[in-house]
A and B are shown apart, each in its own frame.
Chain A
Amino acid sequence: DAGITQSPRHKVTETGTPVTLRCHQTENHRYMYWYRQDPGHGLRLIHYSYGVKDTDKGEVSDGYSVSRSKTEDFLLTLESATSSQTSVYFCAISEGQGSYEQYFGPGTRLTVT
């Protein structure tokens, strides 16, 4: 299994509070991704990173920010959580683009009340 961990694995928070999710990898892969998984939508890309301090938006980036100060860590921040951000969040890593496989972490279940 690819060395990817996510923390926390479960979190319940209140509307309007900031939340940070962490993805940590031990594979030294260049690319890292944050997805959210919602029923009927599959997984949708929030943000991704192609190197330290290099990030870009995905299809559902509104309300989210990311940071990558080290190769191994990719942080996802909800500045002011809303109920619509209740979801399961998955981190993924990849050596490169093209047909390279993406390896997924175990997920974080976030509930915003």
Chain B
Amino acid sequence: GNSVTQMEGPVTLSEEAFLTINCTYTATGYPSLFWYVQYPGEGLQLLLKATKADDKGSNKGFEATYRKETTSFHLEKGSVQVSDSAVYFCALKGDAGGTSYGKLTFGQGTILTVHP
């Protein structure tokens, strides 16, 4: 079945540091890939997505590129802020060719803390 693996956290950075959170996946066919963010006490919000190989999703300074050759979708930001402190989830949705069509499979989440 489908699976998503994220780098272990927590990740602690100083403000304006560069962020990378690694995400790799296992899936058949051509899944869609997502990054969700969860701020303390809230539900998940979509941060960015990519629906086909080599697509780059971007939002609020965050970027991730869908790399089918390495089955990866790493999240990056050039300069983090204290307000970016949250839990980040990588997720995939199976394509129309499989039983996982339309269902999200999540990674375990990575806690990010940014200090001033």
Residue pair A58, B45 in contact (C-beta under 8 Å): no
**Complexed CA–CA distance, A94 and B46 (Å):** 12
Taking the closest CB of chain B, its distance from the CB of A56, in whole angstroms, is 9
Q: Is the CB of B93 within 8 A of A48?
A: no
In the assembled complex, the Cα of A84 lies from the Cα of B103 at a distance in Å of 24
Contact A90 B108 (CB under 8 A): no
Given A98-B32, A99-B49, A101-B49: A42 touches B108 (CB 8 Å cut-off)? yes
* Count of B interface residues, CB-CB < 8 Å: 23
Q: Per-residue 0/1 for B92-116: is the Cβ within 8 Å of any A Cβ (1 yes, 0 no)?
A: 0101100001111011110000000
The reply to whether B106 and A90 contact each other, CB–CB distance below 8 Å, is no
Q: Does B69 contact A (CB under 8 A)?
A: no
**Nearest 8 pairs of A and B residues by beta carbon:** A97-B102, A42-B106, A104-B43, A104-B44, A99-B32, A43-B106, A99-B51, A42-B108
Residues of chain A with a CB closer than 8 A to B96's CB:
97-98
In the bound complex, residues from chain B placing their C-beta under 8 Å from that of A92 are 44
B residues at A contact (CB < 8 Å): 4, 32, 36, 42-46, 49, 51, 89, 91, 93, 95-96, 101-104, 106-109
Is A44 at the interface (CB under 8 A from chain B)? yes
A98 touches B103 (CB 8 A): no
17 further interface pairs, Cβ-Cβ under 8 Å (given A45-B104, A48-B103, A97-B93): A4-B43, A42-B91, A42-B106, A43-B89, A43-B104, A43-B106, A45-B103, A90-B43, A94-B102, A96-B102, A98-B93, A98-B95, A102-B46, A104-B45, A105-B43, A106-B43, A107-B42
Cross-chain contact A98 with B102 (CB below 8 angstroms) = yes
Max chain A Cβ within 10 angstroms of own Cβ: one of B45, B89, B103, B107: B103
**In the complex, residue of chain A having the shortest beta-carbon distance to the beta carbon of B95:** A98
